[in-house]
Amino acid sequence: MRQSILLFLLLISACVLSAQPINGYWKGRLVMEPGGCFPVYNIEFQVRVTGTKIIGTSYHYSDTSNYVKEEFEGVYDSTTNSVVIEEKKVSVFRIPADCIPCIKKYTLTYHTDGREEQIRGSWTGKTMDNRSSCPAGTIVLTRIQKSAFDPPVPPILQSRNNVLIREIFVDTGMVQLDFYDNGEIDGDSISVYVNNIPIVTGKLIGARPITTFLHIDAGRSVNELIMVGDNLGKIPPNTALMIVYTGGKRYMLNLTADFTKNAMVRFIYRRP
């Protein structure tokens, strides 16, 4: 089985997916029509993409004490760089009592000039009580490296030992990560975190890759990836083969996790 998986990998190694992933943090500003609760306020997206599916969290805020937190879903088309995001529910709102949160749908496209990345387009929405429409508008969001709402360290990363497997130096903005079961396919399930943010959650690994992307920016020189074993499979421990594509290079890493330890890989940006 191991030989057949390696042969499969060799056959597809030249077919690295070309895409502009939008995983990460994005920030923009909205100007409301007169009468709004906040004439000008900020929006932050925390985006996770798996294949074409988007999930994540949006924050609408004047400051970190006055905000609305919403969960969203959507789709990403890498061939057209189009993004559709629909907010599904309000999970937290800390705003004046006479304000009603707006649940929005965004139709966006990804743009970059090589220095700055943006997603921009238009939005429509309805109030949380579904009684009226929110004034439609346009928005531009720019990639940022640090959230205004720092995510807590997930308990699973605190309760287990995070074992450093390797440090990889990169000089490119985009890294592709492919995860396979390593050895016999025995029902191993994994979750993957980058800088405490989940980018893969509860996925079974096998002979076909679970593909995700890591965005590397000079503004953040070190990015830590941690693979968590959700189970031990039929043959403990949980083992995965991670293939890293970056800057024309390919790295094959064997990752092992169980209920006491996670596997960590550190990506370090080195200016070309």
Structure token pair of residue 16:
């690295």
Mean local confidence (pLDDT), 240-249: 94
Tens digits of residue pLDDT in 113-127: 878 899 999 999 998
pLDDT, tens digit (0-9, with 9 covering 90-100), for 100-152 = 888 999 999 999 887 889 999 999 999 888 888 887 888 999 999 888 887 77
- Domain limits of the chain? 24-144, 151-269
What's the pLDDT at 38? 65
- Give the architecture-level CATH label for domain 24-144: Beta Barrel (2.40)
CA-wise closest residue to 9 among 236, 182, 127:
182
Given the DSSP bridges, would you call strands 261-269 and 161-170 parallel, antiparallel or unpaired?
parallel
pTM exceeds cut of 0.75: no
Q: Which long-range contacts (CB under 8 A, 24 or more apart) does 146-153 make?
A: 146/25, 146/220, 147/25, 147/44, 147/46, 148/27, 148/42, 148/44, 148/59, 148/61, 148/64, 149/44, 149/59, 149/64, 149/67, 149/69, 151/46, 151/196, 151/197, 152/196, 153/196
The pLDDT value given to residue 103 = 93
Distance separating alpha carbons of residues 152 and 154, to the nearest angstrom: 6
DSSP, res 81: T
Strands 66-77, 222-229: parallel, antiparallel or unpaired by DSSP?
unpaired
Measured distance CA(67)–CA(59) in Å, rounded: 7
CA-to-CA dists, residue 8 to 3, 5, 180, 243, angstroms: 9, 5, 11, 13
CATH number of 151-269: 2.60.40
Neighbours of 200 (CB within 10 A): 20
Tens digit of pLDDT for each residue in 198-227?
Answer: 888 899 999 999 998 887 766 678 999 999
Element holding 155 (H helix, E strand): helix 155-159
> Higher pLDDT residue, 1 or 37?
37
Q: By C-alpha distance, which of 99, 146, 111 is closest to 22? A: 111
The pLDDT mean for the chain works out to 86
